[in-house]
Amino acid sequence: MAAVTLRRARCWCPSLLQFFRLPVAQVHLSRPAMRASQQDFENAMNQVKLLKQDPGNQVKLKLYALYKQATDGPCNMPKPGVFDLVNKAKWEAWNSLGSLPKETARQNYVDLVSSLSPSAEASSQGKHEADEKAQKSKDIVVTSEDGITKIVLNRPTKKNALTFEMYQDIILALKNASTDNSAITVFTGTGDYYCSGNDLTNFTSAAGGMEEAASKGAVVLREFVNSFIDFPKPLVAVVNGPAVGIAVTLLGLFDAVYASDKATFHTPFSHLGQSPEACSSYTFPKIMGSAKATEMLLFGKKLTAREAWAQGLVSEVFPDSTFEKEVWTRLKGYAKLPPNSMRISKELIRNNEKEKLHAVNAEECTTLKAKWLSEECINAIMNFVSRKAKL
Ligand SMILES: CCCCC/C=C/CC(=O)SCCNC(=O)CCNC(=O)[C@H](O)C(C)(C)COP(=O)(O)OP(=O)(O)OC[C@H]1O[C@@H](n2cnc3c(N)ncnc32)[C@H](O)[C@@H]1OP(=O)(O)O
């Protein structure tokens, strides 16, 4: 439990202070924070005082809400009256965070402050470098425009297969997107493929051999999938072409999936001596029923876009010739909807099964770690690498 002592800031960043009269917290935790340390949090609070530019009311509201959630927990104050505009806006921002855990709110606060000014990042230099890396990564391109943060898989010569580095970059990109100014976040791919799944050379090219790659893979995969389970904003997949393996299973954790009619959906886990991941052992039977999920996850049946739509995995299919235009026009419209309302609705839906999803993810990663070291899997990967087999 956190013991919290509050005192009023005396005189810093007048505009922020006047707007919110933000309290400066001296928080003493008796157990370590999950992600951002207490020191990171305190440094971030100090950095807010040093901001040279007013970040605007929306950001200030977000800072206030995250601060209150991180220190006091979920909003339990009575809603201010309709004419008390400032306090009502603050209450609504705090209340919109629902039951977000204190540790997550603290992390989001630190991330948000980090994003506000370069000088604000001195406290978590390592994290700052990592964020910069995510932005600069050539295989993952992140842009933000029209209320949409776009995460593009950009390795077309390898059909956008996911390297270890790309998994890490996506984790960071999602972390940043969760607190940026965008309303929705979208994944898509460059070139003819959406994504050919895990890069099969991840396991063969690891310096420490298969054993080390399997251990590392299980840790990275668990964190990667967790970042999808916990992502707070609407998450949309724009599936521009074929999707394979983890690029398909992850779709069960997206809020909407739009597909070109050229897209296909293929999960050849048995062919590869592997087992399902990204919570698909739970989400797929729930979405399409166990008989259809079995055909995909056990027998590796490849679905066309229309079949995937009929099974409920895809929200809508578009002709390839008009796909990009139609989908982006629609998404720009959605991005103008009130963002807090969308977040709360997502939270209501996701909270019903978040715990279950985390448990399924943990179990799937443990199972996969063992499968990656099995003869079946090693043979399948070697066959692909030595060009003896493709899907
Ligand atoms: C942190 C770890 C988490 C692990 C999570 C586990 C996830 C499980 C999965 O995702 S299982 C799915 C794995 N994916 C595959 O098995 C796909 C393998 N690829 C293929 O079968 C084919 O390449 C293809 C059907 C996707 C496309 O065939 P096509 O003939 O159109 O094109 P090429 O084969 O010539 O591909 C072009 C180059 O891209 C390389 N490549 C494609 N996919 C992958 C991949 N998944 N891993 C590594 N490399 C891939 C391919 O080798 C070609 O490279 P080259 O030009 O250098 O030869």
What tens digit of pLDDT does each residue of 333-369 get?
999 999 999 999 999 999 999 999 999 999 999 999 9
Hey, what are 142's tokens? 């992140």
Confidence of residue 37 (pLDDT cuts 50, 70, 90): confident
Residues belonging to the chain: 391
Residues 6+ apart with CB under 8 A from 121: 47, 114, 127, 128
User: What is the distance between the terminal CA atoms of the chain, rounded to a whole angstrom?
Assistant: 51
The residue-averaged pLDDT of 261-286 equals 97
CA-closest candidate to residue 308, choices 328, 340, 337, 280: 280
- Span 284-335, pLDDT tens digits: 999 999 999 999 999 999 999 999 999 999 999 999 999 999 999 999 999 9
Q: What is the pLDDT of residue 118?
A: 54
Q: What is the pLDDT of residue 34?
A: 53
Confidence of residue 28 (pLDDT cuts 50, 70, 90): very low
Q: What is the pLDDT of residue 176?
A: 96
CA–centroid distance, 276 to ligand 1, in Å, is 17
Q: What is the pLDDT of residue 208?
A: 78
Q: Specify the residue with its C-alpha closest to ligand 1, atom 19.
A: 390
277 lines ligand 1 (CB under 6 A): yes
Pair 160, 154: CB distance under 8 Å: yes
CA-closest candidate to residue 309, choices 320, 321, 319, 317: 317
Hey, what are 18's tokens? 């006047």
389 lines ligand 1 (CB under 6 A): no
The residue-averaged pLDDT of 178-205 equals 95
221 lines ligand 1 (CB under 6 A): yes
CA-closest candidate to residue 263, choices 308, 198, 321: 308
158 lines ligand 1 (CB under 6 A): yes
Q: Specify the residue with its C-alpha closest to ligand 1, atom 37.
A: 158
CA–centroid distance, 274 to ligand 1, in Å, is 15
Sheet containing 264-266, strands listed edge to edge, beginning at the edge strand earlier in sequence = 243-244, 264-266, 303-304
Confidence of residue 115 (pLDDT cuts 50, 70, 90): confident
- Strands 23-29 and 2-8 come out as antiparallel
Q: What is the pLDDT of residue 9?
A: 34
The separation between CA 86 and the C-alpha centre of its own chain, rounded to angstroms, equals: 31
- Span 6-27, pLDDT tens digits: 333 333 333 333 433 443 333 3
Q: How confident is the prediction for the chain on average, in pLDDT?
A: 86
229 lines ligand 1 (CB under 6 A): no
Pocket test for ligand 1, best of 154, 159, 194 (most atoms within 8 A of CB): 159
Distance, CA of 310 to CA of 290 (rounded, Å): 15
Q: Specify the residue with its C-alpha closest to ligand 1, atom 16.
A: 391
197 lines ligand 1 (CB under 6 A): yes
> Is the ipTM above a cut-off of 0.90?
yes
Using CA of residue 309, residue 227, residue 59, residue 84, what is the dihedral sign?
positive
323 lines ligand 1 (CB under 6 A): no
* Rg of the chain (C-alpha set): 22
Residues 6+ apart with CB under 8 A from 174: 151, 185, 227, 228, 231
Tell whether the model's pLDDT for residue 31 goes beyond 70.
no
Pair 161, 196: CB distance under 8 Å: yes
364 lines ligand 1 (CB under 6 A): no
Tell whether the model's pLDDT for residue 101 goes beyond 80.
yes
Residue 391 CA: nearest ligand 1 atom is 21
Q: Specify the residue with its C-alpha closest to ligand 1, atom 42.
A: 158
374 lines ligand 1 (CB under 6 A): no
Distance, CA of 153 to CA of 244 (rounded, Å): 13
Q: What is the tally of helices (H) and strands (E) in the chain?
A: 17, 11
CA–centroid distance, 248 to ligand 1, in Å, is 14
